[in-house]
């Protein structure tokens, strides 16, 4: 992977996290959660696509197609899990 592809992937994942934050309209503290989840999901999807040898919407050496899908899946699941409230047993 080249340095420009790595930087583009980081920026693309950050854009996805920020876009998700704007779409859901959460508090500012959730922005950092969404940025983190977007990076984890995006790079996890990229590695998964490379492991499975899937070439879906590639941008140079970056497997952007599956990375984008896994990124948004991670964002939705992460948001859902962050809204679960724990109950303390008495």
Q: Which domain does 27 fall in, by range?
A: 3-82
For the cut 90, the answer to whether the pLDDT of residue 83 exceeds it is: no
Chain mean position to CA 76: 9
Model confidence, pTM: 0.84
Please state, in angstroms and rounded to a whole number, the distance separating the CA atoms of residues 19 and 5: 21
Number of domains forming the structure of the chain: 1
CA dist 70 and 59 (Å) reads 16
Output phi, psi for 58, to 5 deg: -80, 145
90, part of any domain: no
Whether 87 is covered by a domain: the verdict is no
Q: Is residue 89 part of a domain?
A: no
pLDDT in tens, 6-24: 999 999 999 999 999 999 8
Give the tens place of pLDDT for each residue, 11-61.
Answer: 999 999 999 999 987 778 889 999 999 999 999 999 999 899 888 888 888
Q: Judge whether 88 lies within some domain.
A: no
Q: 59: which strand partners?
A: 62
Query: Is residue 49 a part of any domain in this protein?
Result: yes
Which uninterrupted H or E stretch holds 18? Answer: helix 3-24
């Amino acid at each position: 992977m080249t340095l420009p592809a790595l930087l583009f992937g980081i920026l693309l994942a950050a854009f996805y996290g920020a876009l998700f934050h704007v779409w859901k309209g959460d508090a500012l503290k959730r922005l950092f959660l969404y940025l983190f989840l977007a990076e984890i999901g995006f790079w996890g999807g990229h590695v998964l696509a490379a492991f499975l040898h899937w070439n879906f919407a590639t941008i140079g050496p970056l497997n952007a197609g599956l990375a984008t899908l896994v990124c948004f899946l991670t964002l939705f699941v992460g948001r859902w899990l962050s809204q679960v409230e724990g109950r303390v047993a008495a």
